[in-house]
């Protein structure tokens, strides 16, 4: 079956521009997570969704970052006024539910480069 897909796979943008990253979770998975992976920080949690609600946004680095999920499926992570420190691989994961025992399946990520 289809796994988690993310688009675009690579994005190069100029400092100050806005970007949108998309995640298509596995069909039927109610929980969706966004993580960021960078050389200096490893893999960091950003936000998670249960259905269309985001009970925990504590990992979003600043108010330039926002995310939404519609129809309990596709999610979009938006970064406004991008900065060079936003350069990283943004990973999306989904799981059947939000309990800590549910396996998270990761997408291939979007590599964002801010020049």
Partner 1 sequence: TQLLEQSPQFLSIQEGENLTVYCNSSSVFSSLQWYRQEPGEGPVLLVTVVTGGEVKKLKRLTFQFGDARKDSSLHITAAQPGDTGLYLCAGAGAGGTSYGKLTFGQGTILTVHP
Q: Which residues of 69-83 are buried (b: 16+ CB within 10 A; e: fewer)?
A: beebbebebebeebe
How far apart (Å, rounded) are the C-alpha atoms in residues 79 and 103?
27
Choice from 2, 14, 71, 103 touching partner 1 (CB under 8 A) = 103
Site for partner 1 in 28-47 (CB under 8 A): 31, 33, 35, 42-45
Smaller CB distance to partner 1: residue 8 or 16? 8
3-class DSSP state of 12:
strand
Does 1 bind partner 1 (CB under 8 A)? Our answer is: no
Does 52 bind partner 1 (CB under 8 A)? Our answer is: no
């Amino acid at each position: 079956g289809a796994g988690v897909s993310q688009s675009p796979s690579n994005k190069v943008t100029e400092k100050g521009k806005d970007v949108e990253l998309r995640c298509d979770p596995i069909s039927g998975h109610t929980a969706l997570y966004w993580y960021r992976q960078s050389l200096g920080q490893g893999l960091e949690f950003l936000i998670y969704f249960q259905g269309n609600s985001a009970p925990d946004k504590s990992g979003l680095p600043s108010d330039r970052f926002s995310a939404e999920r519609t129809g309990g499926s596709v999610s979009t992570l938006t970064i406004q006024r991008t900065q060079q420190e936003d350069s990283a691989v943004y990973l999306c994961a989904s799981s059947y539910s939000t309990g800590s025992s549910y396996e998270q399946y990761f997408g291939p990520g979007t590599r964002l480069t801010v020049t």
